[in-house]
Amino acid sequence: MPDVVYLGYMAAFCTTCSFVPQVLHILKTKDTRSISLGMYSIFVTGVFFWLVYGIIIKDAPIMVANVITLALSSTILIMKIRDIFRERKDQTATQSTTL
Amino acid sequence: MPDVVYLGYMAAFCTTCSFVPQVLHILKTKDTRSISLGMYSIFVTGVFFWLVYGIIIKDAPIMVANVITLALSSTILIMKIRDIFRERKDQTATQSTTL
């Protein structure tokens, strides 16, 4: 494996590691209120593009970094979307009982 | 420019864009309390490694994405370190007056 690939893996390790605590915090507290749906959607799309880019140019560090980040960030995005639907359902239920 | 490079720039645009509002918020409020020094140091190091990696493998989207992210994230890291030093200075000043 050429030396530059090790550098890529070090980069991947650092940027993925620094993302993990935030993800674990959200998974633990199940609180997605501080997450912006718009920003997170753009981020997940970007990570998906990086992954496809890595696959096309056959770059292992880019693939590894983005497959992990995509798994983590899309989990949070799904939780956020689920919470939005739950809130709407609760609001509809409250409106029905007050009518 | 081959099509794959456009994909790389789209990826770079998305992941950088989703990072900008948080940076602007911190630059506007000058409040770095919610920033973890350890995690941000690891992130900035990782982005620096990605930039060097991009330069070595001569990949323009990786270079562009990481030079912008490095400029933004290192600004926040410097603000965070400056705030830590200020707090320590204030604490020392308070201790001197109470003695």
Please name the residues in contact with A50: beta carbons below 8 A apart, sequence gap of 6 or more.
A62, A65, A66, B8, B11, B15
Q: Name the stretches of chain A with pLDDT < 50.
A: none
Cβ-contact A74, B41 below 8 angstroms = no
| CB proximity B2 to A under 8 Å | no
Instruction: Select from B1, B6, B18, B43 the residue whose CB has the most chain A CBs within 10 Å, as the one to mutate to test that interface.
Output: B18
What confidence score (pLDDT) does residue A26 get?
A: 85
Domains of chain A with CATH codes: 33-93 (1.20.1280.290)
What confidence score (pLDDT) does residue A81 get?
A: 95
What confidence score (pLDDT) does residue A99 get?
A: 67
**Nearest-CA distance B12 → chain A (Å):** 7
What confidence score (pLDDT) does residue B99 get?
A: 67
Extract the tokens encoding B73.
Answer: 């994230």
CB-CB under 8 Å, A45 with B14: yes
| CB proximity B23 to A under 8 Å | no
Its pTM stands at 0.83
Phi, psi of B20 (to 5 degrees): -60, -50
Q: Which residues of B touch A8 (CB under 8 A)?
A: 49-50, 53, 57
